[in-house]
Structure 1
């Protein structure tokens, strides 16, 4: 690949070696080289120009006083250390943050395609981690409250008789473009924006290989058998906590059967039709920050026909 997929954190050091060092963690909160990213109920603070807003940790002690969940994200190639601060417990967070230009909390699903790749990777990482924390406040074994540790990368059950360690999870999902000569298979779900068509996708089930999941999902959703399954690339997809594993596969059958459970429709679309997509409410391709778009775009411009 010439470039990584959107939301991929290429060149980002997650600083695992410092997660168990309280003295180091305390020192970065007074460092000139560390910044805080506030997260509120899965939303990020951005300007009207869709630029993410962050705060220097050493000058915004008031932000840390808000008693949010603090999570070490890591350092970027320039050496800036980034931390996420989850302030979801606040009802009106904008009023308690340092005053800047017009800014508001927005969902990454909306602003993701409008921001640069570096910012997108940071916000995706922060969103995924804060989501995990909010949904693992109690132990799955005994039901006792859990406590954050390892700079936000582990939660420990507070019950002395249990003390189960819980680690951040990501759900593997396959996403695949099925092709047959100059045609590819696209479908649409009823919950999608009007006209949107995309590649098929689904979660990997226990005891299943990735290739098995590709074949099963295509068969279940569209009644198509596939062969020549080939891996393309992956993408972190924090909506809410997936890793999308991208594949190509060749159709071994072409008679579509949609059962109406996950898809409302599916069809074979010619390469030229997609290259000249009207991009309107009658027909348009997926959002440009998604791996589904990457798979379609690569195939559209490929000379391969089978």
Structure 2
């Protein structure tokens, strides 16, 4: 674990074997000191200084939150002897107007919070967000259409039709993201939806029947029209927007002429190392935020040997 990117590095013991035991889970939930993390429509409850917000936990021993919870809480893990759960309060229309929630803080989007919170809170929020969003999208069985129910402390859903009884597990979609280089220059691109001046690494979903190295080569060709070699793994990052695992790579170009599909990429170009260093942070040229693995790939290359 030489490289741990933002949103990863959780210190929680997920207790994968114990969480299958309903009696053990019930005991942990009822134990003194257990903490309950509220999530509302993918947003997180925080309080404190605007420049340094802190997570707000609920007391599971209270009962008011049950009236607005989408489902039973899910088990996140143990922090020492303290059990941590998360609960989805999305059915509530107006958290700010709720008599109990309104005074505890504000629900804020994780992308807004990321520059302001530490790595510990970032990994916690990403974990809870990704897991609860998956539950919200899998309330019915994809095999037979019957309702599903929460199982294994929230780390599975079971079809309620005995004739089907399919077990569903949280889905994480693999995405390759790569920095392609040619000596002292690299390829960066921008999609039409990006903010003005924003450039990032090329990226794309891994397709069925495809190895990640093959996906790196295919996406490099599809998005930039270049061929590559020397594909090397860099690091990974959970990306809960809503549920991807970013797999970071570097690669060396074997062709340099760039061609793009205008329906997919607005612009793709070679950028010199010294030019990026001189212009990053300007209004005309923006790199990904520091919480993104794309920025880690770029910065590591910029700071590496020339």
TM tier, shorter chain? over 0.9
Matched residue, 2:38: 38
1 CA distance for matches of 2:31 and 2:99?
A: 20
Matched residue, 1:15: 15
Matched residue, 1:267: 269
Match of 1:112 among 94, 114, 121: 114
Deviation, 1:116, is 0.5
Q: Which runs of 5+ in 2 are unaligned?
A: none
1 CA distance for matches of 2:106 and 2:293?
A: 27
Deviation, 1:3, is 4.4
Matched residue, 2:130: 128
CA change 1:22–1:67 in 2 (3 A) is same
Greater mean alpha carbon deviation, residues 106-115 or residues 124-133? 106-115
Deviation track 1:214-270 (CA, whole Å, cap 9, x = no partner) reads: 000010001011110000000000011000000000011111111112210011111
1:219 maps to 2:218: no
Contact 2:280 2:287 in 1 (8 A): no
Deviation, 1:11, is 3.3
1 CA distance for matches of 2:99 and 2:304?
A: 49
SS in structure 2 at match of 1:16: coil
2 CA distance for matches of 1:264 and 1:108?
A: 27
Match of 1:50 among 48, 53, 70: 53
SS in structure 2 at match of 1:28: helix
Deviation, 1:144, is 0.9
Deviation, 1:143, is 0.7
Matched residue, 2:203: 201
1:192 maps to 2:191: no
Matched residue, 1:295: 297
Deviation, 1:10, is 4.1
TM-score, scaled to structure 2: 0.93
Say how many residue pairs are matched.
Answer: 302
Matched residue, 1:71: 74
Contact 1:182 1:270 in 2 (8 A): yes
Contact 1:179 1:251 in 2 (8 A): yes
TM-score, scaled to structure 1: 0.93
Deviation track 1:162-200 (CA, whole Å, cap 9, x = no partner) reads: 111111110000000001111011001111122110000
CA change 1:242–1:85 in 2 (3 A) is same
1 CA distance for matches of 2:186 and 2:53?
A: 34
